[in-house]
Each structure stands twice: as C-alpha cells, then as structure tokens.
Amino acid sequence: MYRIGFDVGGTFTDFTLLDETTGGVEYFKVPSTPWDPSEAIETGLSRLIEDLSIDPKDISHLGHGTTVATNLVIERKGAVTGLITTKGFRDVLEIGRQTRPHLYNYTIRRPVPLVPRELRLEVSERVLADGSILLPLNEAEVETAARRLAAAGVTAVVICFLHSYRNADHEHRAGEILRRFLPDAYISLSSDVLPEFREFERMSTSVLNAYMGPRMGAYLERLLGRVRDLGITAEVDTVHSNGGLMSVSTVREVPVRTCLSGPAAGVIGAAEIGAVAGFENLVTFDVGGTSTDVSVIVGGRPLFASDRLVADYPVKTPMIDIHVIGAGGGSIAEIDDAGGLKVGPRSAGADPGPVAYAKGGQKPTITDANIVLGRLDQTALLDGRLPVDAGAARAAIQQQIADPLGISLEEAAHGILRIASANMNRAIQSVSTEKGYDVRDFALIAYGGAGPLHATDLASESGIDTIIIPLEPGTLCARGILLSDITMDFVRSELSIATEEAWERTCNTLEEMQAQAAAWLDREGVREQDRDLRLAIDARYDGQNYEVSVPLDVIDRKGLAHFIETFYAKHFQEYGYDVAGRDTEIVNCRIKAVGQIRKCEQIYLPQTEGDSLKGSRSVYFGKDAGWVESKIYRRNHLAVGTVLQGPVIVEEMSSTTIVHPHQTMTVDQTGNLIVTVARP
C-alpha cells in the first residue's frame, strides 16, 4: 500500500510517496497550475501511478496541503458575502482595533472590509456576557435582511451576534431563517467558527470563513472528481493551520482553518524528523522563493498561536506559531532612497523570476547572488532541468548594486546574502529569544528550496551549533503531510477569576468539550486506541489584556492551586516577570482532539552505482576566506556515516547545501545531513 502527500505551492506542486511495505520514499515535482490547483495534483498523481506502475486502489492515504484559501483572500476572489449582526454593531468589522502595524508609517491603510457596508445588516437581539437574553431575536427583521441579501446576489452570509459564544440560540435560529430564503448560500455562524470572546476577531474570522467557503468547496469538488477519475478510492485529508489533518467535510465547514496549510505541514514534518534524529528542541527554517517561515519546536512539539493576519485581515484560530518574512530566493536586491543596499520584501516571484532564469527578470535577487558566488550551480538547477544564465546575473548585480556602491562584484553579491541572513536571524529571534528560549539550546532544521543554502550562514549569525538538513528538503512540506495526525481544536470562553467555584465550572466545561471532541473523532472515523485529547487553559493576570496557554494533563477538580502555580511559571517564561498576589483570570478552555495516523519508518537507501563526488568549483565564502575550491557531492550517493570537512557543496534535486570551511557534515542513519558549526 502507498501513502501520498502533496503540497501546492505558487511555483511547484510537490509530491512525496511512501511505500508502506518497503519504507522506500519517492519525491516528485510538477509545475503548479494557479488557475486550478487540482489540475497539477491530477498530473502529478497520474505520473506517479504510471512511472511506478501503481494500482490506484493500492493508494491508502492522500494528504493535501493547499494555499487555495489564502490566495482567495490575497487575490480578492472570494464569494459575494453578506453579514447579519446585532443592531449597533455593523461597523465593528471596519472599526477594528486601534493598532497600527507600523506606528509612524502614515501611508499604511487598513484593508477594505470583505463585506461592504451595504451588505452589513443589523437585527434586534441582545445576549448578555453571561449568556442570558436581554432582548429576544426579532425574526421578522431577520427575514427582511434575508430578502435584501438574496436580492443583492450574495452567495455567502455570516451571522455574528454579540456574546453568541455564551449563548448561540439566536444565531442558530437566524441561520434556520436564512436557509429558507437563501437555500444555496454558504451560511457561517460565528458560534460554530469561533465560540470565543473578542467581537472584532470573531467577526473577522467568521467573515473570512464565509468569503472562502463557496469557492473552496468548489475546488474540493473538482479535486475529488479528478482523484476518483484516476481510480483512487482513498479519502483526501487536508492539512490545516495547527498542523493536523481534517476531512473534506470539515474543510467545507471551516475553510478558514487552512490558511497556513502548507507551512504547518512542514513544521510537523520537521518535528518528526528531528525526534528520530535525536533533537527535540528545534528552530525550523523554511526558505522558499518569496518568503522565509520560521518556527520553534520545544520537547518535540511545535509552539502554537491563537491569532495572526492573513492578507492583513485578523484570523483568530489555533495555528502553529510561524513567523513569516519577505526573504526568499526571489527577493529583490536594490539600492534604496538613502543609498543603502536593501533586500526584500519585494520578490521577482516565479514570473519573471531571478535574472539568471532568463525569463525576463531584470532585478537581481538572492538566487542571482548565490549563482554569482558559486554557491549554486552556474549552468543549471533542479538536476539540470532549469538552465541558468550566470553571466546575466553577474551583469545585473554589477550594474545595479556594485557600481552604485563603488564595491566589487563579490562584495555586492555577498552583501546581499549578509543582509538576507540578518533579516532571517531577526525572524528566528522573534520566535525564540522573545519567547523566553535560548536559541543556543536548539538545532536548526533547514528545508524549502533555499533553506539549506542559507542555513550555515544563519547558524553562525544566530549562535546555533547544529544544523539538520532532511532528505529532499524542497519537498518537506509534502513529506510532513504524511507525518501529520488528524486533529481539531475546540475552544470555549470562560472569563472568570480563578476561584474554587470558577474552577469547578471550568472542569465541567472541559468535560463537555471532551464529549464534543469525542463526537468529532467518531465522525472522522478514528479508533478509540488512536485517540488523544490535549487540554489547555488560556489565563492571564486580572487586568491584563492578553493571555498565555497553560497545558493540563488531566481534569482535576482539586487542581486549582497547581494550575495557578503553572500559570505563574509560564507567564514568567514568556514575559520575564510575575505579579505575586494578583488574581489569575481563566479566559478560554481549549481541547485539541488528535487521531493518530500510523507512521511507517522511512528508510534511507542511497544509490550505490556511480561516484558520490560530482566535481568541484570555486565558491566565495566572504572577505576573509575569499574564493575557495570546494568539492561537490551528489546527496543521494552519500552513504550513512559519511563525514565530510568543509568547504563542501551537496546537491540534490530540490535543494543545495553549503558547508563552510571549518564546518563538519555527517550523514546520519536516516539520511539527514548533520552539520556542526565550529565556534572560535
């Protein structure tokens, strides 16, 4: 039987196939088809079936990473969406929070609301913060609103009433009425999408969910149709933002949870690979064509966040804490208005791409700098499938960077990499040091097409001693999908000072949520022996505005004192202080339902025919070392236990690894490259 994971990116759609019998793994890429991502998926699956002579019925699992939901928002191609809310609150979506992403940049404007004001309608009703009803729902007004939205041609509707996280009766009744008048519309209730306090974030998240819903559903239908046409009977599970898998039916209900689908799968894959390699504390470093994604794994588990921006719109849903910056292989280098060298966040993207790709790109990029310095092959990439023009890259950097700055070509190209490395290092500090972790206690796991290319520079910059380069790092997100479990997060707001009475109420809520999680696992078809429920409580000091997550091992009705003690420790770790004597406030109860997927051991089988040494070329390692003749090795020919002293270049289909002078590289039992960074 075979398990296949595929991750849809902007340039390529990556595939990883695992043979459950032999443990053998195949990696594969096809160009993405942005107009319909399912087209590239069908192409890749059909090629795998044909090239490996696979019976489609022997495919037992399909895992799917997608950027469809996010792209719908970025490109503003979602559904025509309406909103029904409590009278007096139609403009919450536009008012938002009194915060600015850049305090002194007055050119920044808020994004235009996805629901225009004329489609944001109010009805009379009022639920109080304790869940009691002050004013019953005016059903006649709901009917009038439904008629107006139907006449306006909306295909998706959000219902978001004040305090519905405490009492959802009004939202459910309004939904019933709406379905009579708009039977084909996508209806999104905020109490289903996010039963959590903070009205603006709940409304924004629910609007995004409805905005994505119809077109995400249509995409899934096309994908399932293409899969069935190939004769594959396995279900298609999709990775969502917390790194787990969920069924097609769940994705249809909450597509907003897939906003970090691909990057989350990469972090999950990194955690599994690191654990097998003996490293449970990791900084993940995923560098693609346009961005760098970094995250932290502590004790074998990723860190999580509860909110972030998606295309500048707030989304509040549990997700892996991934920090994204505009620094990738296609990031453009240019001289700014002050005469200084700037790298990113603008990107050449896939079209036209870097100058060296000879597809019309005119601006030098990080990839061009790596080619000029000999760190990338100066004739072709992707195992010879992508020819490059090194001369054009040299000319672009010389004319646009070196000459204006009055420096040599090498200094200009190396300066581009140094600035990129500094930007990447700041991203790593934001997810490690700023969270109370000493980055020197972590190993760096580098993946994505350009991650291994920059990892050794970055490790030296940040103080990390060990680097892990997994097999075919450019396809790790697809591989991570095969290592992901089925998961779903459940949340309910409590909002009460942590007294004995409140703790008893919190325990009751957690028990009710356990039943809800168990019912969801039943629906997903997860066996009892494969289930795990992970409990946590968001808490804060009385008077604070934001909270920290406190994990719970069990529901202990006598465990209030232990909970408060654990909260103090977590708060001190994250913020560096505690407040003795101040009350602790319980904010949200959370349960993560996990259905564990069987994970087969992936075996490293290096090729024995041919020489691992491919040749050598001169590589520039900075002003002190200059140009150094460096040996080039084929990754898939390196035997377990191989030890190489830098300078070394290791090439494979999806990436290139650079090992600097005075660094050592070893091939471990599972085929990972382990690079040790020597300190002065």
Q: Domain map of the chain by residue range?
A: 2-72+218-261, 99-202, 280-465, 486-595, 613-667+672-676
Quick one: fold of 2-72+218-261?
Nucleotidyltransferase; domain 5 (3.30.420)
- What does the alpha-carbon distance between residue 501 and residue 26 come to, in Å, rounded to a whole number? 56
pTM: 0.83
The predicted pLDDT at position 679 comes to: 62
- What does the alpha-carbon distance between residue 68 and residue 65 come to, in Å, rounded to a whole number? 9
Return left, alpha or beta for 408; rule: phi > 0 is left, psi -120 to 50 is alpha, else beta: beta
The answer to whether the CB of 318 falls within 8 A of the CB of 489 is yes
The token pair that represents 451 in the structure block: 């991650």
Q: Which residues contact 120 (CB under 8 A, 6 or more apart)?
A: 82, 83, 85, 90, 91, 93, 113
H helix or E strand, kind and range, residue 494: strand 486-497
The predicted pLDDT at position 350 comes to: 67
- What does the alpha-carbon distance between residue 581 and residue 583 come to, in Å, rounded to a whole number? 6
Asked whether this chain's domains 2-72+218-261 and 486-595 adopt the same fold, the reply is: no
Give the dihedral of Cα atoms 420, 353, 647, 669; nearest 10 deg: 100
Q: Does domain 280-465 have CATH number 3.30.70.1230?
A: no
- What does the alpha-carbon distance between residue 65 and residue 419 come to, in Å, rounded to a whole number? 31
Per the listing, tokens 């940040």 go with: 462
- Strands 386-387, 443-447: pairing kind: unpaired
| Residue 283: closest CA among 420, 534, 451, 486 | 451
- What does the alpha-carbon distance between residue 357 and residue 388 come to, in Å, rounded to a whole number? 5
Amino acid at 90: R
- What does the alpha-carbon distance between residue 421 and residue 441 come to, in Å, rounded to a whole number? 20
Each residue of 322-341: b (16+ CB within 10 Å) or e? bbbbbbbbbbbbbeeeeeeb
Is the Cα torsion angle 423, 424, 425, 427 positive or negative in sign?
A: positive
CA end-to-end span of the chain: 50
Residue ranges of the chain with pLDDT lower than 50? none
The token pair that represents 42 in the structure block: 């069908």
Return left, alpha or beta for 283; rule: phi > 0 is left, psi -120 to 50 is alpha, else beta: beta
C-alpha 483 chain-centroid distance: 15
Q: Give the CA angle between residues 311, 314, 316 to the nearest 5°.
A: 125
Quick one: fold of 486-595?
Dna Ligase; domain 1 (3.30.1490)
Is the Cα torsion angle 620, 622, 626, 631 positive or negative in sign?
A: negative
The predicted pLDDT at position 545 comes to: 86
